[in-house]
């Protein structure tokens, strides 16, 4: 039987703090937070992508690289894209 419980502000804060510390490895962040708060990695990942990452406070980091490759989800082929990176940055900054 599953035990459903609401997410607390403390759990969200812990998740956000961990992601800010290691933004380059979200999977590792989810594993660490899941162990700390007693939830599954899937639950933590779902919380991050569904709620916490959309919070304006979560926009504390941004990764950009001239070697960034945007993946096409249908065929898995990548295309180099620097324009999209800068458009994302402008959106994050609210410009």
Q: Are residues 70 and 92 in the same domain?
A: yes
The neighbouring-strand residues paired with 94 are none
pLDDT recorded at residue 75: 47
Q: Are residues 21 and 50 in the same domain?
A: yes
Domain span at residue 20 reads: 1-59
Is the pTM here over 0.85, yes or no?
Answer: no
Give the span between the Cα atoms of 93 and 62, in whole angstroms: 10
- Whether the Cβ atoms of residue 29 and residue 19 lie closer than 8 Å to each other: yes
- Whether the Cβ atoms of residue 49 and residue 15 lie closer than 8 Å to each other: no
Domain count, the chain: 2
Window from 13-17, 28-32, 55-59, 74-78 with minimum mean pLDDT: 74-78
């Amino acid at each position: 039987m599953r035990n459903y419980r609401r997410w607390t502000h403390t759990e969200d804060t812990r998740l956000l703090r961990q992601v800010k510390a290691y933004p380059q490895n979200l999977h590792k962040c989810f594993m660490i937070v899941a162990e700390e708060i007693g939830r599954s990695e899937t639950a933590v990942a779902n919380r991050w992508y569904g709620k916490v990452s959309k919070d304006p406070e979560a926009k504390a980091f941004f990764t950009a690289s001239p070697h960034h490759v945007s993946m096409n989800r249908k065929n898995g082929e990548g295309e180099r894209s620097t324009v999209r990176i800068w458009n994302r940055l402008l959106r994050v900054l609210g410009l």
